[in-house]
Structures are given as C-alpha cells and as structure tokens.
A = this chain, B = another copy of it.
Amino acid sequence: MLKNIDPLLSGELLNVLRTMGHGDDIVLVDRNFPAASVAAGKPVIRLDGVNVTQAAAAILSVLPLDTFVDQPVTRMQVVGEDESVMPEVQQEFAAVLLAADSDNAEMGSLERFAFYETAKQAFAVVVTGESRGYGCFLLKKGVIFS
C-alpha cells in the first residue's frame, strides 16, 4: 500500500501507467476479452473480481488523457448493432470518464475486429472481472508539463 494512491493500482500497473508516454494506449477490458493473444507478449495485468468501471476510476485518478487528439478514449462497438449503441457498461464507463476528466470525455468507437487490431499496438492490457459484454476500452495517454 502507498499513501495517496488508489489500492487497486498494483506495483506492476503503476509501472505500466508511469512508463507509458505521450500517445501510448492502454487496453482496459472485460473478462471474456482475448487478452493474452491480443497482448502477444506485452504486459497483461489482471484485476479479477473488479469491474471495469472501478478499474477505470483507479486508472484515471493518475493517468492524464491525450489532449492532442479529439477522442483519447475508444470503446468497442456492439456486434450486429448500429455503431452508436452503448450498452449499460459503456454508459457507466462514460460517467466515470466524465467525472475524472471532463475535458476529454468524448469517446470514439471501433468495430470488434478493428478494436482487436488497434489493441495489438497498445502498451499493455488490463483485464478485469467485468462480467458484462463490451466492457472494452482504449485509453490514450497525454502529457504533463511542469
């Protein structure tokens, strides 16, 4: 445990978040996501028993989002539905995002397999115990100047 840091952020997760730089993405997903094959050797951090909104709140307490792009966060689209459809888990996530960083809370979206391809270029994958489908997001890191 550390002072002033969310207990959900383990040493390995802090290491990843701190080591990422401007423009690097982190993948934050539900328990059914193919995390290991998408990560392909890059770090996979497990948060079994934690849902994706709890994990998002912890991560966003320290991670600055990228202000060089319009949509620093991306959600996975529902298969077979219009791309604008946002299931409950994504709506809850949107509320967490708005609370944490209201200036960068507009999300983009990607179709399932396009999401996989983009995720393969990410820095790391955080897989939660979220039991609902489509709890899958990409977060792009921003900068902090002195």
Contact = CB atoms under 8 A, between A and B. Distances in A.
5 contacts: A5-B18, A7-B48, A14-B15, A133-B143, A133-B145
Interface stretch (A60-68, A91-99, A102-110): A60-68
Contacts of A133: 143, 145
Given A14-B15, A21-B33, A3 B144 contact: yes
B32 A143 contact: yes
Contacts of A62: 2-5
Nearest to A34: B21
A3 to B, nearest CB: 5
A21 B38 CA distance: 10
Is the contact region of chain A dominated by helix, strand, or loop, or is it mixed? Answer: loop
A120 interface: no
A20 B34 contact: yes
Given A7-B48, A61-B4, A145-B133, A33 B37 contact: no
Contacts of A46: 10, 46
A62 B129 CA distance: 18
